[in-house]
Amino acid sequence: MRKWVVILAMLVMVFDAVAQRDSVVVRKKEADPNYERPVFQGFSAHVDLLTPAMNLIFGKVYGTEVTFDLNLYNRLFPLIEIGYSDVEQTLASNITYKTNAPYLRFGINYGILRPINKAGKRRLLDCYPYVGARYGMAFMNYEYKNVEIRDEYWGGMTTTEYSKPFVYSGWLEIVAGVRMNLAAGFTMGWAFRFRTAVHTSAETKAYTWYIPGYGKSDGSSFTFSYTIGYTYKVKKVRDRDGTGMLTAKKPQ
Amino acid sequence: MIMVVASACSSSNTCYESMDSSFRITMHKMVFDQDKERYVEQDFRTTATIRGVGIDSLLYDMETDSRFEVPLNKMDSQSVFLIEQMKVQEGDTMFVEDTLWVEYSSALEFVSLECGCVSVFDVKNVRYSVNMIDSVNLVYGHVDRLKVNNLKVYVRK
């Protein structure tokens, strides 16, 4: 019996020694000052003003979109963009195309400006540039009216129309932009977007002539957006440990 | 900046697609190959006038070729063509007329908002008179914008 107690005690000592060595390794790891703690630094909601205005002027597209993002470490901004588009266009072929659908994009922005400069001082990040990526999707209903069939040789002309509900379309976006503070938590931003890689559940991309949230489906496109909204930031106090790090204010 | 975005938003209403879906007929004759000691198929260049029955306008007017493309009637399930071929026999030139009945089903295929729809056809049956035509072979019954040989017509020697 005494022999087993001795063996057990030795095993406990060995495991304890290993655990202590591992914990020393963990303690040696320092936090990257460019990823501020705590993880959650705030959130924001923005409305795109330019895209609906431009669409209305040049494309007879009605709708708008809002963006909600989280601020993690003051570097990463996971987000969703929700919008709605209502389109009705008649082209030279006299065919009228109509679609209306909500759309959703999700993705992430990455702040490209380091919060700590080369001298080790903290930057005043009232304005941050970013790059990001999105995956967009729309479940759309589309309708074609006044589709004209004309036989030039044999003669005769007829018109037809058809529609299809719940057609899925998806695409990718690469984004580069800047977000800046205005006052009292209000923020605004500009962004360039490159949209590409459209895929759809319709028979061909030709059927989804205009995809809500993407635009004309016949190729990649380059767009520009201007947003305005409100940003909530976790309040901070200056850390006195001499590192220049900012930390979130503890609740009273 | 606004101008760049505006030009990106503006759309061209021009159709750049080919909207032609024609039924392609190729002319052939069988000749005896002495080396192979059997009949082999050869392309046959013929001088022909082709028009649709009931239509005054000619599709081909005394054109010499071995390949002819004719439009099928989008409003009907049958198109009938008159094919008049020039034949030189013992120094005399004569014209021999045949009739070709093409029976099919049709459907509409959407191309784009700018171009509209194109009719596509599935040929079910081809009937013909046997004046100059010896026989026919429907090699590919689907007729769309991709131009392929649809019907081989074998002419008499």
Q: What is the mean pLDDT of residues A103-127?
A: 82
Name the 3-class secondary structure at B144: coil
Q: Which of A93, A148, A152 sits opposite B113 (nearest CB)?
A: A93
The Cα–Cα gap between A192 and A130 comes to: 11
Q: What is the mean pLDDT of residues A181-195?
A: 92
- pLDDT reported for residue A217: 85
DSSP label at residue B73: P
Domain count, chain A: 2
Min Cα separation B120/chain A (Å): 12
- pLDDT reported for residue A241: 47
Instruction: Give the range of the structural domain holding residue A185, as residue numbers without chain letter.
Output: 33-248
- Residue B11 belongs to some domain of the structure: no
The Cα–Cα gap between A153 and B80 comes to: 13
Give yes or no: residues A150 and A215 share one domain. yes
The Cα–Cα gap between A137 and A82 comes to: 10
Give yes or no: residues A19 and A84 share one domain. no
- pLDDT reported for residue A252: 45
- pLDDT reported for residue A249: 52
Give yes or no: residues A118 and A161 share one domain. yes
Q: Which of B4, B13, B117 sits opposite A147 (nearest CB)?
A: B117
Give yes or no: residues A102 and A160 share one domain. yes
Q: Which of A54, A87, A93, A200 to mutate to test the interface with B (most CBs of B within 10 A)?
A: A93
- Is some CB atom of chain A closer than 8 A to the CB atom of B64? no
**Res. B90 pLDDT band, cuts 50 70 90:** confident
- Residue B126 belongs to some domain of the structure: yes
The Cα–Cα gap between B111 and B17 comes to: 8
Asked if B132 and B85 count as a contact pair (C-beta separation under 8 A), the reply is yes
Structure pTM? 0.68
Give yes or no: residues A71 and A181 share one domain. yes
- pLDDT reported for residue B5: 44
> Which has more confidence, A204 or B131?
B131
- Is some CB atom of chain A closer than 8 A to the CB atom of B55? yes
Asked if the model's pLDDT at residue A184 lies above 90, the reply is: no
**Res. A250 pLDDT band, cuts 50 70 90:** very low
- pLDDT reported for residue B68: 96
- Residue B5 belongs to some domain of the structure: no
Contact between A216 and B112 using a beta-carbon 8 Å cutoff: no
> Which has more confidence, B83 or A183?
B83
Q: Which of B8, B71, B116 sits opposite A148 (nearest CB)?
A: B116
Give yes or no: residues A45 and A152 share one domain. yes
Give yes or no: residues A57 and A147 share one domain. yes
Contact between B5 and A54 using a beta-carbon 8 Å cutoff: yes
Instruction: Give the range of the structural domain holding residue B99, as residue numbers without chain letter.
Output: 20-155
Asked if the model's pLDDT at residue A214 lies above 70, the reply is: yes
- Residue B115 belongs to some domain of the structure: yes
Q: Which of B9, B13, B116 sits opposite A59 (nearest CB)?
A: B9
**Nearest CA to A178 among A65, A55, A77, A72?**
A77
- Is some CB atom of chain A closer than 8 A to the CB atom of B40? no
Candidate from A21-25, A193-197, B97-101, B148-152 with smallest mean pLDDT: A21-25
Contact between A92 and B57 using a beta-carbon 8 Å cutoff: no
Domain count, chain B: 1
Q: Which position has the token pair 């006038």? A: B49
- Residue B14 belongs to some domain of the structure: no
Q: What is the DSSP secondary-structure string of chain A?
A: -HHHHHHHHHHHHHHHHHHHHHHHHHHHPPPPTTS-SSSEEEEEEEEE-HHHHHIIIII-EEEEEEEEEEEETTTEEEEEEEEEEEEEEE-TT--EEEEEEEEEEEEEEEE-S-SB-TTSPBP--SEEEEEEEEEEEEEEEEEEEEEEEE-TTT--EEEEEEEEEEEEEEEEEEEEEEEEEEETTEEEEEEEEEEEEEEESSSSGGG-SEETTTEETTS-EEEEEEEEEEEEE--EEE-SSSS--EEEPPP-
Min Cα separation A179/chain B (Å): 18
Q: What is the mean pLDDT of residues A188-212?
A: 89
Min Cα separation B135/chain A (Å): 26
Asked if the model's pLDDT at residue A204 lies above 60, the reply is: yes
DSSP label at residue B2: H
- pLDDT reported for residue A202: 85
- pLDDT reported for residue A236: 62
Q: What is the mean pLDDT of residues A159-188?
A: 92
- Residue B13 belongs to some domain of the structure: no
pLDDT in tens, A119-159: 777 776 678 899 999 999 999 999 989 888 889 999 999 88
- Residue B8 belongs to some domain of the structure: no
The Cα–Cα gap between B115 and A91 comes to: 9
ipTM surpassing 0.90? no
Give yes or no: residues A106 and A185 share one domain. yes
Q: Which of B7, B68, B74, B120 to mutate to test the interface with A (most CBs of A within 10 A)?
A: B74
- Residue B118 belongs to some domain of the structure: yes
Instruction: List, as ranges, residues 86-125 from B with C-beta within 8 Å of A.
Output: 108, 110-117, 119
Mean pLDDT rounded to a whole number for chain A: 81
**Res. A205 pLDDT band, cuts 50 70 90:** confident
